[in-house]
């Protein structure tokens, strides 16, 4: 018995030894069961679905993405892991958030950009996220279910209706059941990212006071939080007055540097100009959810009059038209949404459902297939299964229905019912 205990201890020691690595930022020895190559591969795999599930890329003003990436690359060039394939994108999302995947894949929402005052504050956000990637914080967080499942994901569209073909259009926004990347960093990791993020700012020539102002903004937001999404946001980015004070001390040790307020305000000018349009869009979503269709239509049209290039506005217009069973009008609106941003999954699903009502099964299947390439969803898998069944391809239908079953819920039950029919002897 003693021999086996010694053997187990030796095996455990071997695992700890092979899993031990040096934190590239702090220089400390830490346990890590993921290699740098695995980090990069994981981040690359998760980057697109994480963006898709959170609104897709912001496309109204492509120059803004260029600007943010330029600032991010400037900071990455002075980081402690300059070899990582860093990418920086702006997401079409109102939530004031930013995140980093393992391997240096970083995103910031337009909802946060409008709250920042200058380029130094933007550098504070991006520098902080770069540290999370460089210090391998995300790799340490990786446990089963922590990252977005790159396979099938559930979509929140009900089928519990006598008219299953219109149910998807009548229910609210198409949502993704699986959660995108949202690491729960501990206090030490957040403080570490603050500290070294400021160091990266200084190396890149920015005034570290921007990091102080950023934390003040987060504290102010936390004090007035009302929406549910704010709770999850602050769970991953816990603000505190303590962090403000620590950042003040760090910034005082390295005063001076660029703020670039004029450049920053010029870069976000389109976003600032469109703020009232996005406010109308949010009100329209609430009105539609409350079944006040007339108000939702009025607000959506007003938003589109202010900014006709926004794909989310056209998508909502299509949903409202479908709600009124104007499927030809909804198809036109969804087509304009797709034309505005061809690389976003959601309007393809909505247009596919409209095509079903217009008796265009081939066009519907084509849109569903395109949506699956961008982001696999349960609803698309289910309807592709039905399409395959209509075409007499039972093998493909079974494969799609089996995928849909994995998502559970009412769609999963409908898919299971189809599988049972297919398994019955003819």
* Residues written for the chain: 426
CA distance 371 to 94: 23
Identify the burial level of 326 via C-beta atoms within 10 angstroms of its C-beta, where 0-12 means exposed, 13-18 middle and 19 or more buried.
middle
Q: Where in the sequence of the chain do the CATH 1.25.40.10 domains occur?
A: 276-423
Tokens of 290: 């409350």
Written out in words, the top-level CATH class of the domain with range 276-423 is: mainly alpha
Low-confidence ranges of the chain (pLDDT < 50): 1-18, 143-181, 226-227, 229
pTM beyond 0.75: the answer is yes
For residue 258, give Cα distances in angstroms to 72, 79, 95, 203, 295: 15, 18, 27, 11, 46
Spatial contact of 281 and 300, defined as CB atoms under 8 Å apart: yes
Tokens 């950023």 — which residue?
214
């Amino acid at each position: 018995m003693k021999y086996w205990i010694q053997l187990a201890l030796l095996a455990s020691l071997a695992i700890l030894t092979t899993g031990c690595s040096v934190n590239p930022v702090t220089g400390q020895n830490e346990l890590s069961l993921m290699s740098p190559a695995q980090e990069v591969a994981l981040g690359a795999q998760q980057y697109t679905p994480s963006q898709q599930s959170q609104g897709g890329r912001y496309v109204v003003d492509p120059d803004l993405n260029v600007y943010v990436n330029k600032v991010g690359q400037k900071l990455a060039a002075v980081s402690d892991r300059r070899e990582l394939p860093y990418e920086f994108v702006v997401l079409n999302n109102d939530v004031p958030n930013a995140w980093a995947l393992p391997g240096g894949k970083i995103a910031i929402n337009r909802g946060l950009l409008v709250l920042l005052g200058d380029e130094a504050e933007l550098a504070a956000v991006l520098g902080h996220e770069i540290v999370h990637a460089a210090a391998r914080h995300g790799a340490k967080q990786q446990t089963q279910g922590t990252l977005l499942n790159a396979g099938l994901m559930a979509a929140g569209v009900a089928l519990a209706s006598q008219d299953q073909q219109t149910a998807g259009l009548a229910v609210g926004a198409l949502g993704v059941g699986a959660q995108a990347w949202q690491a729960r960093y501990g206090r030490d990791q957040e403080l570490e990212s603050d500290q070294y993020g400021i160091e990266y700012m200084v190396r890149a020539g920015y005034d570290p006071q921007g990091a102080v102002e950023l934390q003040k903004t987060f504290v102010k937001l936390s004090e007035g939080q009302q929406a549910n999404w704010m709770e999850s946001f602050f769970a991953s980015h816990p603000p505190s007055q303590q962090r403000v004070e620590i950042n003040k001390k760090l910034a005082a040790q390295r005063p001076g540097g660029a703020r670039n307020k004029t450049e920053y305000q010029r870069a976000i000018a389109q976003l600032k100009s469109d703020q009232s349009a996005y406010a109308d869009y949010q009100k329209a979503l609430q009105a539609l959810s409350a079944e006040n269709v007339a108000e939702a239509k009025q607000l959506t049209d007003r938003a589109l009059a202010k900014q006709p290039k926004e794909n989310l506005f056209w998508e909502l217009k299509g949903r409202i038209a479908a709600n009124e069973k104007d499927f030809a009008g909804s198809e036109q609106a969804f087509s304009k949404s797709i034309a505005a941003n061809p690389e976003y999954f959601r309007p393809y699903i909505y247009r596919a459902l409209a095509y079903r009502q217009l008796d265009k099964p081939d066009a519907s299947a084509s849109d569903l297939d395109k949506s699956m390439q961008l982001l696999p969803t349960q609803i698309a898998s289910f309807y592709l299964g039905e399409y395959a069944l209509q075409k007499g391809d039972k093998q493909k239908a079974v494969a799609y229905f089996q995928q849909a079953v994995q998502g559970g819920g009412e769609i999963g039950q409908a898919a299971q019912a189809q599988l049972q029919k297919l398994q019955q002897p003819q």
